[in-house]
Chains A and B, each alone.
Chain A
Amino acid sequence: MTFTGAIGALCMVPLRAIIAACVALRVHPNILTLLGVFINIVAAWFLAQRRFLAAGFVMVVANIFDFVDGKVARELNLESPFGGFWDSVMDRFSDIALFIGLLYLYAELGRTDYVIITALAMMFSVMTSYARARAESLMDKCKVGFMERPERIVLFMIGAFTNRMAGVLWVILVLSVVTVADRIFHAWRELNGSARLEERLMAELSRVE
């Protein structure tokens, strides 16, 4: 088992109990999704107030709701196309709320440089999701690129708990730019049907392997 796989398996132990509790109480998954957004707004407020540790704990709670909603929907047989749409839209609100908290903080500190870095990270995070959603309306799958929402959320938590938000923002920004580029490239390759350039490069590279 890999290192990240082991961490994931460890986290699943309490999450299973929470999912079971939500199923027993028959909490509607859409309500869980909405609660996650509200709690993320509280986390954003803590970030804006320079209370990173509190923000970290609130983010953990918010993302428990975020994580269990899909599983609860499956257990209760309440999966629906609208549920998927609702979840995706609410996720964007949660993402943007956290960035706005940081934008407020850095603006108040008079740090224009970090206001710009945060704004760019926010833009490319939203574009990461949009690029995939738009591409998947035209083709089968566009799941390439490293920086997806779970990675972003875990990085936010690490930044908040260890007070290293600047480094986290740089990582989110750079890897989100790369992820958006990956998705545009993948969509171009699939939709144009002219993968010749990339095929040649990959053929050359695979001969080396």
Chain B
Amino acid sequence: MKRLLMFPLLVVWRALFWTYERATWQYDLMVIAILAFVWLTPPDWLGDPMAQGGKGLIEWAIGFLRLGVRG
């Protein structure tokens, strides 16, 4: 049980106190997380002054799914 509780703490600690080199799988994970944030977050949520069409990929996907449900 203690091990289960400690694991997320370890992940958070390692992500915050970053000591990994580039081109490691940990680095890849971080890059994927950053790209997901940048590309998937709707610009409207961030109040992006420049992005045209405030919908991001998340909103687009939600809209697409809703359309699919309605048929």
Residues of A in contact with B (beta carbons under 8 Å apart): 1-5, 8, 50, 52, 105-106, 109, 111, 113-114, 144-146, 150, 155, 158-159, 162-168, 170-171, 175, 178-179, 182, 185, 201, 204-205, 208-209
Contact = CB atoms under 8 A, between A and B. Distances in A.
Nearest to B22: A4
B48 A167 contact: yes
Contacts of B6: 204-205, 208
A2 B25 contact: yes
Given A5-B23, A8-B22, A164-B39, A182 B17 contact: yes
A30 B37 CA distance: 37
Contact of B50 (A166, A178, A204): A166
Interface of B: 2-3, 6-7, 9-10, 13, 16-19, 22-25, 27-28, 30-32, 34-35, 37-39, 41, 43, 46-52
B41 A167 contact: yes
B18 A146 contact: yes
Given A3-B31, A209-B10, A166 B16 contact: no
